[in-house]
Amino acid sequence: MDIKIRHVHIFPKRDNPRVREKAEELASLLHSLQVTSEIVTGEESPHHPPQMVVVLGGDGTFLSAVHLYAPLAVPLLGIDMGGLGFLAEVSVDHLFDTIIEVVKGRFTVENRMMAQCEIVHENQKVETDFALNDVVIYRGPFAQMIRLSTHIDDEFLASFPADGLIVATPTGSSAYSLSAGGPVVFPTLDLFIVTPICAHTLYARSIVVPPTSSIKIVLESMKEGTMVTLDGQRGYALARGEYLVVHKASFPASLVKLPRERHFYSLLRTKLSWGIDIRKRVNEEC
């Protein structure tokens, strides 16, 4: 990419000495490459955005960084120091070689669709937030179903008796939505996946809708503890009669991609064990 990297933010996983140590090593490397850097641990958007953010941690850390930097159109490079690591571009073992390549401009930027959510309360107070992976409405701590009236573009879809409902982006299709039975979608597409969670009805299946859709979900049940969560990071309480509206955000998340990047299908094989004969693995371990 035709851009000279001169200022970088390093966004490490919190309260992890190993990650903090690696962040300081990275800062030293960037200094030797004549790139200024700052190790960021705050929760507020920076006043002076960098040209790039290097995220050290797992998917949770990456989602936290997205929330701060995506509205500022700052590209994020994920370094996998977690477990599943679906959003990370490279493993920590290749961190320093990768940074040298990035400083030389040998990278591209891939845009990922994001979801915006407005939560409308009974007093007409509106809370607005956005997510890279998903917006989830869930029944809370009590083992009781809730009923969710769902509309798409002002047309009634169904009233779901369920544990909850997921509205996922393509990037989030391999996260909670997949666990709830939703399809895996190539992450650079633009669309929404609406998936009920443990619905108490046979007709409840995922539905894929266009990115221009407006998805409205109304809580019909009087159940305490019902929550709306975004990317599993931020939560908002929801009471009976209150609702949320999900639509495409006006900005994407920008992800740094490298020439030797792991292809999405390769990730499915390695992270989710697609195509692996479990019987053969068990026989080899015995």
From CA 170, how far away is CA 184, in angstroms rounded? Answer: 8
pLDDT at 260 over 90: no
From CA 4, how far away is CA 175, in angstroms rounded? Answer: 34
Question: Do residues 226 and 244 make contact, with C-beta atoms less than 8 angstroms apart?
Answer: no
* pLDDT, position 272: 76
pLDDT digits (tens, 9 = 90+) for 184-222: 999 999 999 999 999 988 778 999 999 999 999 999 988
- The whole-number average pLDDT for the span 72-94 is 87
pLDDT at 37 over 60: yes
To the question of domain 7-112+252-285 being in CATH 3.40.50.10330, the answer is: yes
From CA 55, how far away is CA 5, in angstroms rounded? Answer: 16
From CA 225, how far away is CA 133, in angstroms rounded? Answer: 22
- The whole-number average pLDDT for the span 140-163 is 92
Domains 7-112+252-285 and 115-248 share a fold: no
- The whole-number average pLDDT for the span 94-115 is 95
pLDDT at 279 over 80: no
Which residues does 94 contact at the CB level (< 8 Å), separation at least 6? none
* pLDDT, position 224: 82
- The whole-number average pLDDT for the span 153-165 is 95
Confidence of residue 141 (pLDDT cuts 50, 70, 90): confident
Strand 207-209 to 192-197 pairing: antiparallel
pLDDT at 240 over 90: yes
Question: What positions carry a catalytic annotation?
Answer: 59
CATH topology of domain 115-248: Tumour Suppressor Smad4 (2.60.200)
pLDDT digits (tens, 9 = 90+) for 120-139: 999 989 999 999 999 999 99
Domain boundaries, the chain: 7-112+252-285, 115-248
pLDDT at 58 over 70: yes
Confidence of residue 264 (pLDDT cuts 50, 70, 90): confident
Confidence of residue 15 (pLDDT cuts 50, 70, 90): confident
